[in-house]
Amino acid sequence: MLIDIHTHVVNSNFNPKECKTNFVINLFLKKTNYTNYENYITNLISLINNSKLDKAVLVAIENSELCANNEQVFEICKKYSEFLYGVNLSPFDKDIDLKVQNAYKNGAVLVKILPSFQNVNLSDKQCIPFFELLKEYNLPLLVHTGKEYTLKTNSQNLNNPDLLENAAKIGVKIICAHCGTRIFLHEKNYFKNWAKLAIKYENVYGDLSAMITPVQIFDLKKILKSHELKSKVIFGSDYPSFPFDLSVKTTNNPIIDSYNFYEKIGFDDTMFKNAEKVLNL
């Protein structure tokens, strides 16, 4: 099964005229020809069906005026077979044990956390019971690593992969979104932090979503030169993100453009096989 492990849907109540949008968000909306919620979902399904992918994980974001929340994503996943459910939780949510249990019962294939947006320090020992729950239910943890651009942030330092050491020790399957990389040269790069963690722990992976830029290509080449790191990556598009590299020959389908680019530079089907393994499919 070929899976995109990292895609997003807009909130059903999203109105670009009323919501505060930044340059990156406006660019994404323009590229997706966004008109409304239903149109967005229809277009995404078409992109998936016209690619070689079988399914895509829809990642929910709670408390965002831009992104679909858990309830909305769950309803989409029930309606359309192309999607798998990615739930957004926080270790500090009220009744977190019940929320993890319900997510599992509702067919969630992973739990997503955006540390800088949710203001969560994953190295806090209070997170350990949450990690133990994820291990018990065999739910992988997808964590944003590296700088966050589209959502309001508290501290970007919360996106450091080093903070995932406790979760890794407990045995949670961890997917570090974007492998800790940066988009601009002047920014802090956590790629080495991710690489160290991925090599040290069998259960730590990285997704390749939103990594096709002139700066990130240097880290992609480092992955390709390392057999250990190349075996630990998973395909993701981070749709509606799209490749920002002029060397990419566009098909007007960012999902196709992304996996074509990765295959062209030397990644193989391991990036898809890892998705099946990590998601227990």
CB 5 within 8 Å of CB 175: yes
How many degrees, rounded to 5, is the angle at CA 188 between CA 212 and CA 242?
20
User: Residue 253: in which H helix or E strand, if any?
Assistant: none
Alpha-carbon gap, residue 196 to 191, rounded angstroms: 9
Structure-model confidence comparison of residues 17 and 205, the more confident one? 205
51 in Cβ contact with 255 (< 8 Å): yes
Q: Is 95 left (phi over 0), alpha (psi -120 to 50) or beta?
A: left
Handedness of CA 95, 159, 194, 239 (dihedral sign): positive
Phi and psi (nearest 5°) for 89? -130, 170
Provide the CATH topology of domain 3-278: TIM Barrel (3.20.20)
Looking at residue 149, its pLDDT comes to 83
**From its phi and psi, is residue 156 left (phi > 0), alpha (psi between -120 and 50) or beta?**
alpha
pLDDT band of 109, cuts 50, 70, 90: very high
Please give the Cα distance from 217 to 225 (Å, whole number): 12
Unique residue bearing structure tokens 């990156």:
24
pLDDT digits (tens, 9 = 90+) for 17-30: 777 777 788 888 88
Tell me the average pLDDT across 209-217.
Answer: 95
Domain range list for the chain: 3-278
pTM above 0.85, yes or no: yes
Band (140; pLDDT cuts 50, 70, 90): very high
Report which DSSP code applies to 204: E
pLDDT band at 130 (very low <50, low <70, confident <90, very high): very high
pLDDT in tens, 89-99: 999 999 999 99
Greater confidence (47 vs 150) lies with 47
